[in-house]
Amino acid sequence: MLKLFRFLKPYRAWIAVVVVLMFLQSISQLYLPTLMADIVNVGVMEGNTGYILRIGGLMLLIAAVGTLCNVAAAYYSSRTAAGFGQIVRGNVFGHVERFSLQEFDKFGTASLITRTTNDITQVQQVLFMLLRMFLNAPLMIVGGIVMAVSKDAKLSLVLVAVIPLLAGVITLVASKGVPLFRAMQKKLDRLNLVLRENLIGIRVVRAFNRTERERERFGSANTDLTDTAIRVTRIMSVVFPVMLLLLNLSLVAIMWFGGIRIDNNHMQVGDLIAFTQYASQILFSLTMVSMMFIMIPRASASAVRINEVLDASPSIVDAPETREPESSGRGLVEFDDVTFGYPGAEQPAVRNISFTAQPGQVTAIIGGTGSGKSTLVNLLMRFYDVGGGSIRIDGKDIRGLSQERLRAMIGYVPQKAVLFSGTIADNIRFGSDSASREHVEHAAEVAQAAEFITELPEGTNSAVSQGGTNFSGGQKQRLSIARALARKPAVYVFDDSFSALDFKTDAKLRAALQRETAEATLLIVAQRVSTIMEADRIVVLDEGRVAGIGTHRELLASCDVYREIVTSQLSEEESA
């Protein structure tokens, strides 16, 4: 957890203020019982009303100052803790943004969400407690002991007997609690995972009448978390009563032995009153320390999880000697003997893939499901790095380009259209911030999105709801194509992006694209033969390997895998 406290740097001045305020508050708390003793010993015993009023007034003043310090310290502590939380959340988010998909696969989305929210809140809460008590509790314990001993050294032996007992309780509780706290955060991850899957997949859950089963799945994750929370609470609930019992027993012992000492004229009544107050302060502070000991392990479990994210270095980083290409290039894409396997997978997803996609031409990739088509796109986008071989753009290995520069050269249309909340224009401008209104409208027109956009009352200013749920699958695909067109890149990558379009729109879109992107390199991944029949070059994939490369006619003559795909989809007439 200490490692995370480096983010407290901007709040150093406030922390210093809190330390001073807590110091003043502790001093005032420690001074009050002594004044009380004076009132009893001098004022009450001698019947000196003036003295009582004078010292009483002083006590009120000191108590007021102490309270003010306490309130101000609480304010600055909570602002510091909240600011710390904000900084850590920002840093975790910024770091996660640099992750390659490999790290996302490793942590899992649900866990990343818990770590950025709940885990940081745990540390933030403990920081607040620490700021309030870190100085106060030890000062009250040590100062209280000094003051108590100064009032009556012999009576202090009662404290010598109680303090080890309290320490024993604290150690026991901490040793039982820590493993449970760790387990709790993991169970919270699981709960988030079930919740997230259920919310995202709500349509499927409903369609397959799985609501009841999902409720059970959530119920079991929820019960599991609750059970652990109850076990933790059970342990924690013992702490306070035990502490209070020890506190009260000590006070009884102090009264008992103190009474005897007063009888024997070894002690004054006022000093006994002050002594009991010091004993209460010491034991109360010890209780607070024990709470801290319980909360710190929980927060450190969270801190470990946060640090895991912050320490995970993105597996894809820009090479230090990255030199940006001098000219913008034409977008010649070359796959050279590329092999790649996903982390943890036994078999490579693609093996020894070599082909070239020329500028001004359409290169298509076709193959059965799971044959590695999207994997090739993931590698070209550098979402993952190749395991063997290389991918070059305009003769340069993409690992030698900065990721930003590489991706700026590519207009990528993913397999599953992803839209963001905002307007249609916002979504198209996601491809290029500087795109003018005409530019946006033109991109929408080429993507065959203009016809449905003009029917909307607000045109390109119409709202897109979260995840683009207010548009159909085909409309979403066309908007994500317009987004790619808006950036006018050298290379276009369409990862099965026409699948939700009807045949007529698909054909119209391809014709418009051909005019618009005549100079660019087009890489089209497709399942439908009709989409890619006219491509200049078709790469046929089969179980991660190239089964053939050529035009439609060449492949029909030479490639069995391609022929099988064609005959399964087209009539003889269509394929000819």
Ligand X SMILES: Nc1ncnc2c1ncn2[C@@H]1O[C@H](COP(=O)(O)OP(=O)(O)OP(=O)(O)O)[C@@H](O)[C@H]1O
Residues that bind ligand X (CB under 6 A): 105, 342, 345, 349, 367, 369-375, 527
What's the min distance (Å) between Cβ of 350 and ligand X? 7
User: Judged by CB, which is closer to ligand X: 299, or 559?
Assistant: 559
Detail the DSSP E strand segments found in 117-271: none
Cα–Cα distances in Å, from 134 out to 103, 166, 239, 240, 299? 37, 18, 20, 19, 15
* Beta-bridge partners for 366: 526, 540
What is the β-pairing status of strands 333-340 and 350-357? antiparallel
User: Judged by CB, which is closer to ligand X: 409, or 565?
Assistant: 565
Helix H or strand E segment including 476: helix 473-486
User: Judged by CB, which is closer to ligand X: 275, or 383?
Assistant: 383
What's the min distance (Å) between Cβ of 106 and ligand X? 11
What's the min distance (Å) between Cβ of 96 and ligand X? 17
Report the alpha-carbon distance of residue 442 to residue 142 in Å, rounded: 76
For residue 75, report the phi and psi dihedrals to the nearest 5 degrees: -60, -50
Q: Could you tell me if 381 and 410 are in contact, meaning their C-beta atoms sit under 8 angstroms apart?
A: yes
User: Judged by CB, which is closer to ligand X: 296, or 525?
Assistant: 525
Report the alpha-carbon distance of residue 137 to residue 129 in Å, rounded: 11
User: Judged by CB, which is closer to ligand X: 25, or 375?
Assistant: 375
For residue 187, report the phi and psi dihedrals to the nearest 5 degrees: -70, -30
What's the min distance (Å) between Cβ of 364 and ligand X? 13
Report the alpha-carbon distance of residue 415 to residue 260 in Å, rounded: 86
Q: Could you tell me if 376 and 336 are in contact, meaning their C-beta atoms sit under 8 angstroms apart?
A: no
Question: Tokens 């224009």 identify what position?
Answer: 425
User: Judged by CB, which is closer to ligand X: 103, or 394?
Assistant: 103
User: Helix 136-151 and helix 120-133: axis angle, to 10°?
Assistant: 30
First to last CA, the chain: 69
What's the min distance (Å) between Cβ of 291 and ligand X? 44
What's the min distance (Å) between Cβ of 115 and ligand X? 20
What's the min distance (Å) between Cβ of 476 and ligand X? 17
User: Judged by CB, which is closer to ligand X: 108, or 459?
Assistant: 108
User: Judged by CB, which is closer to ligand X: 199, or 345?
Assistant: 345
> CA 434 from chain center: how many Å?
31
Rounded to the nearest 5 percent, the helix, strand and coil shares of the chain are: 65, 10, 25
What's the min distance (Å) between Cβ of 372 and ligand X? 4
